[in-house]
Chain A
Amino acid sequence: MSAAEPPKEPVKYVDATVRLPYRYVAGDYRATYLRALKDKTILGSRCARTGKVFVPPVVASPESFAPCEEFVEVADRGVVTTFCIVRIPVIGREIELPYVAASVALDGADISIYALIQECRPEDVRMGMRVAAVWKPDGERVGSWEDILHFRPTGEPDAAPATYLDRL
C-alpha cells in the first residue's frame, strides 16, 4: 500500500454521534407516585416540620430540610398558576404545536406540577383557570406519567390570584 497522500483540503470537521444508554432509577418515592397513577390517584409527601405537601413526593423538604415521609393523596384537579404557549419544536418530541405547557397547583398540594393543557384553544388559557386531569381509560393505565393524557379546563370560575400567585 503506497504512502497516503495528504488531503488536498485540510480536515475541517469531525463528525461524532454520541449514543449513551442510561437506565434511570425512579427511587421508591417516585415509583410509589407512578404506581398510584394507575388507580387515578395522585400522591404527594408531607413535610414533618411544616406540614406542606409536595407533588410528586420528595424525600426531603427543599424548604425546611426535614424529611417528608408521610404520603398523602391530592386532588386530580387544580389551578393553572402560569403557563406558556410553545411554538417551536424540540428533537425527539411529538407533541403537536402550538401547545400549552402550564404549571398546575393541584388542590391539596403546596407546589405545582408541569402539565399539558388541551381541549381548549391556547389563547383561551389563563392564569387562575381551573383544570382537571384527563386520564387514560381503565385498563390502559400502567402506572406511568403517561396515564394522565393532559389537563382540560373544567369551566369553573377562575381562582382568585391570591390563591395561586404564591404557588407558581
Chain B
Amino acid sequence: MTRLRNVAVVAFAQLPTVAHDPHRTSTEMLYPVIRRALADCGVERGAIDFQIAGSVDYMDGRPFGFVQALDVMGSWPARQDLHLEMDAAFGAHYAWIKIQTGEIDSALVVGHGKTSEGDPRRILNLQLDPYYQAAIGLDPIATAALQASAYMARTGATDADLAAVAARNRTAGARNPEAQLREAATADALRETPWAVEPLRTGYLPPVGESATCLVLAAEGTAERLCDRPAWIHGVEQRTELQTLGARDLTRSPGAQLAAEQAYAMAGIGSAGDADVVELMALTPVEELILHDALGVDARTAAARVNPSGGALCAHPTMSTGLIRLGEAFRQLAGRAGARQVPDARRAVVHVQQGHCLQQNLVWVLGRERRWT
C-alpha cells in the first residue's frame, strides 16, 4: 500500500437531533456548530483551507438552497469551496482526497437540511427514476420494505430478529444526549408498533429529524495543533451500485462489501473484527444485518461495539446522518463519548450510505495512531 498523507478528524460538533427546530432556519442551525468546531480547534475561520457542504435542494424545498450556507460559513474573503448534493460524509471523503493532492491541509465539512419542512417520503420518491420506479409511488420506506421482505425470505430472519436489532440501537441511543430517540425500548415493545410498510414496523424506522453538523479534517503537521487526540484516517473508499431495484440482489450489499474491502486494505486490517467501534448508517434493522455481512461484523459482539451512538435509528437528520457516524467515531477514539464511550477504543469502522436500499456506500477506518509512519 502506497504511503498516503495521514489525515485526521480533529473536531466534530452537532446540534442535538430534534423533530423540528422552530427557531432557526437550516443555515442558521449551521452557524453555532461551525463556531463550536473551530473553537474546539482553537482557531479562527481563516485557518482552515477548504470548505465543503452536503445538502439537497429538494430537502431544502428550494433550488440553490445551499448557496445561503456560504453566508454563515465565514466565506469572506472567498474560500476554496465545493458543495455536494449528498450526505456531508461524502464531502468529508472528497476533502480527504483533496488533502491527498497536497493542495490543502485542512477542511471544514458541514451538513445541513431541515427535514421537518417537507415530507421526506414524498421527496425521496423523486430520487427514483421517473419512468418506472417513481411512477408507481415507491417511497424510501416502501423500497426498504421490499429489501426487508427479500432478505427475510432468503435468510429466514424474523420480525423478532429485526426487533432485537432495533432494541439494541435504542438502548445505545439512551446514552446519547445528541440523539432524538433517547429512551430505551424493548424488542417486545417495538414488535407491538404498527406496520409502517410491512415487514417494517414504525418502531424499526428512524423518526423525521433535523440537525446541523460540522467536522474538521486536518493533515499531519496541522492536526496535532488543532486537537490533542486526533482520530487518524487509516482507510476510506466509496462504491455505488445501480438504483434499479429489480437489477440488484437487495438482500446483499456488494457495494458496501467492496468499499469495505478497499478501506480495510488501505488500513491494513483484515475485517471489522479489528475495530473496537463500528458505526453503521443503517436506516432499518435489515440494512444493519446486511451490513454486518458486507462489512464482516460479528453479530455476536454487536452489542458491545456496533452503533454505540444509537445509530441512524435514534437520529436521522438527512444530510448529516453519515457525518454523525464519522463524528461519533472521532468522539470514541478521542475519549469524548461520555456515557456511550466504548472503553479504550483504538480503532473504528464507519459506514455511510446514500440512496435507496444501500445504493451508495462509503466506508472509513480510523484509529488512534497514525497509519503511515
Contacts and interface: CB of A to CB of B under 8 A. Distances in A.
B71 A20 contact: no
A163 B8 CA distance: 48
Given A16-B130, A18-B126, A27-B23, A59 B118 contact: no
A93 B298 CA distance: 59
A26 B45 contact: no
A62 B72 contact: yes
B131 interface: yes
Interface string A105-135: 0000000000000000000000000000000
Contacts of A28: 23-24
Q: State the main secondary structure of chain B at its contact with A.
A: loop
Contacts of A67: 31
B123 interface: yes
A21 B72 contact: no
Residue from A21, A27, A28, A63 having most chain B Cβ neighbours under 10 A: A27
Contacts of B122: 20
Contacts of B76: 62-65
B72 A60 contact: yes
B80 to A, nearest CB: 16
14 contacts: A18-B126, A20-B122, A22-B118, A24-B25, A25-B21, A25-B23, A25-B25, A27-B23, A29-B28, A58-B71, A59-B28, A59-B31, A59-B72, A60-B71
Contacts of A16: 130, 134-135
Given A20-B122, A22-B117, A25-B25, A62 B134 contact: no
A21 B45 contact: no
A22 B134 CA distance: 20
Given A24-B117, A27-B25, A27-B28, 11 more contacts: A14-B131, A16-B130, A16-B134, A22-B117, A25-B25, A25-B114, A28-B23, A30-B25, A60-B31, A62-B72, A65-B45
Contacts of A59: 24, 28, 31, 72
B224 interface: no
B33 to A, nearest CB: 12
Nearest to A18: B126
A23 interface: yes
Contacts of A60: 31, 71-72
B81 interface: no
Contacts of A20: 58, 61, 118-119, 122-123
Contacts of A64: 76
B296 interface: no
Interface in B102-127: 114, 116-119, 122-123, 126
Given A16-B135, A20-B123, A62-B72, A25 B45 contact: no
A25 B72 contact: no
Q: How large is the interface on A (under 10, 10 to 19, 20 to 34, 35 or more residues)?
A: 20 to 34
Contacts of B116: 23, 25
A27 B24 contact: yes
B177 to A, nearest CB: 23
A25 to B, nearest CB: 6
Nearest to A62: B71
Contacts of B246: none
B337 interface: no
Nearest to B60: A22
A21 B134 contact: no
A62 B119 contact: no
A16 B72 CA distance: 36
Contacts of B158: none
A25 B118 contact: no
Residue from A24, A25, A63 having most chain B Cβ neighbours under 10 A: A25
A15 to B, nearest CB: 10
Interface string B1-44: 00000000000000000001111110010010000000000000
Interface string B57-75: 0100100000000111011
A48 to B, nearest CB: 12
Interface string A1-27: 000000000000010101011111111
Interface string A37-72: 000000000000000000000111011110100000
B130 A24 contact: no
